[in-house]
Structure 1
Amino acid sequence: MALRSVVYKAILQVADMDRGYYAEHALVVARHPSETDERMMVRVVAFALNATEGLAFGRGLSVDDEPDIWRKDLTGAIETWIEVGLPDEKWLRKACGRAGQVVLYAYGRTADGWWQQNRNKLSRLENLRVFRLDPDATAAAARMAERSMRLQCNVQDAEAWLGNGTEIVRFSPEMLYPII
């Protein structure tokens, strides 16, 4: 018998001063059996950094043709495709062909090596943005994971603070691509 996903629920309050977006989102996050708390919380952070009406989690790691997070327009066309982790370059190329905008949040101790290995191939993808998250911040966010969470995320000057009422983790996503 296959292991089932564990369902986490979060009330996420987002105050994004950079974009003028303020809202509360009731999230249901299915954590795949092979997914770590760190990856799940990076998905929540990625959601908060891109929060908007219509943004939704994909069906997860067990589905090959969906992103971690996405937003579709009323016709079903994919406007925004968001990935977390260190995906295969071919996967990102496919995503760029299917969506208007693709955003990747690379994280983990090996993210720098992954970027060095893939940067030349990915630099041809014009609708791709790549950010690197500090591994200490993502590890701290993983310690906040609970089956039921109340989280606040404040974004200002391209930095985010994720809190749960007792802890606060600062994220400073480093833009790797495009280089501005």
Structure 2
Amino acid sequence: MALKPTIYKLNLNLADSDKHHYQSYQLTLAQHPSETAERMVVRILAFALNADERLAFTKGISTAEEPDLWLKEDHGAIALWIEVGQPKADRLRKAVNQAAEVKLYAFGKTADTWWGIESKDIPQSEKLTIARFPWADIEQLAKNLDRNIRWSISIAGGELYVDTGSAVAHIIVGAF
């Protein structure tokens, strides 16, 4: 018998002063049985950084054909393809060929090792942006997850301030 995903309800209050985007979102996230809490946190932060009414969580980790999040145009074209983690260069090449814009949010204890191995093969494209979340911050946020997530995220100067109700994190998204 296959394991079923764990369903999370996310109440996200977002204040992005960089983009002048202020919105509350009521979202449902499915955590695949093989997905870590840390990876799910990065998906939430990636959503916050790119928030739009049309941005959607996909099947992500359970399918190779879809990113973790995407924004599709009304006619079906992929305007934004968002990956989280440490994908193979081939996956990023596929994304660059399919979407108008691609963003990768890398994270993890082994991110430097991954970058050392994959960076030479990652496509050089103006359509591709690669950022990195500090592992310690992601671990801390993952410790406080429950099935009903109520977060307030403020974004200013490219930095995130995440209030989980029980903790506050200041996250600086970096580069390799």
TMscore range, shorter length: over 0.9
- Runs of at least 5 residues in structure 1 that lack an aligned partner in the other structure: none
**Helix, strand or coil: the match of 2:119?**
helix
CA contact (8 A) 2:134 2:171 kept: yes
- Residue aligning to 2:6: 6
Letter in structure 1 aligned against 2:92: L
Matched, 1:164 2:152: no
- Residue aligning to 1:28: 28
- Residue aligning to 1:114: 114
- Residue aligning to 2:51: 51
Runs of 4+ aligned structure 1 residues displaced above 6 Å come to none
Q: What's the TM-score, normalizing by structure 1? A: 0.94
Q: Percent identity?
A: 40
Higher mean displacement: 2-11 or 159-168: 159-168
Please report how far the alpha carbon of residue 27 of structure 1 lies from its aligned counterpart in structure 2 after TM superposition. Answer: 1.0
CA contact (8 A) 1:129 1:175 kept: no
Letter in structure 2 aligned against 1:45: L
Please report how far the alpha carbon of residue 123 of structure 1 lies from its aligned counterpart in structure 2 after TM superposition. Answer: 4.9
Please report how far the alpha carbon of residue 113 of structure 1 lies from its aligned counterpart in structure 2 after TM superposition. Answer: 1.6
- Residue aligning to 1:85: 85
Please report how far the alpha carbon of residue 53 of structure 1 lies from its aligned counterpart in structure 2 after TM superposition. Answer: 1.8
Letter in structure 1 aligned against 2:75: T
CA contact (8 A) 1:93 1:125 kept: no
Letter in structure 1 aligned against 2:32: H
Please report how far the alpha carbon of residue 112 of structure 1 lies from its aligned counterpart in structure 2 after TM superposition. Answer: 1.3
Letter in structure 2 aligned against 1:140: Q
- Residue aligning to 1:73: 73
Please report how far the alpha carbon of residue 17 of structure 1 lies from its aligned counterpart in structure 2 after TM superposition. Answer: 0.5
Letter in structure 1 aligned against 2:102: V
Q: What's the TM-score, normalizing by structure 2? A: 0.96
Q: Distance in 1 between matches of 2:125 and 2:114?
A: 17
Please report how far the alpha carbon of residue 116 of structure 1 lies from its aligned counterpart in structure 2 after TM superposition. Answer: 2.1
Letter in structure 1 aligned against 2:48: A
Q: RMSD of the TM alignment (CA)?
A: 1.0
- Residue aligning to 2:97: 97
**Helix, strand or coil: the match of 1:140?**
helix
CA contact (8 A) 1:69 1:82 kept: yes
- Residue aligning to 1:39: 39
- Runs of at least 5 residues in structure 2 that lack an aligned partner in the other structure: none
Please report how far the alpha carbon of residue 149 of structure 1 lies from its aligned counterpart in structure 2 after TM superposition. Answer: 1.2
**Helix, strand or coil: the match of 1:142?**
helix
Q: What is the count of residue pairs matched by the alignment?
A: 176
- Residue aligning to 2:126: 126
Letter in structure 2 aligned against 1:77: A
Q: Deviations for 1:129-150, whole angstroms, at most 9, x for unmatched residues?
A: 0001100011011012110011
Please report how far the alpha carbon of residue 122 of structure 1 lies from its aligned counterpart in structure 2 after TM superposition. Answer: 1.9
Please report how far the alpha carbon of residue 167 of structure 1 lies from its aligned counterpart in structure 2 after TM superposition. Answer: 0.6
CA contact (8 A) 1:107 1:135 kept: yes
Q: Distance in 1 between matches of 2:67 and 2:93?
A: 13
Q: Distance in 1 between matches of 2:76 and 2:126?
A: 22
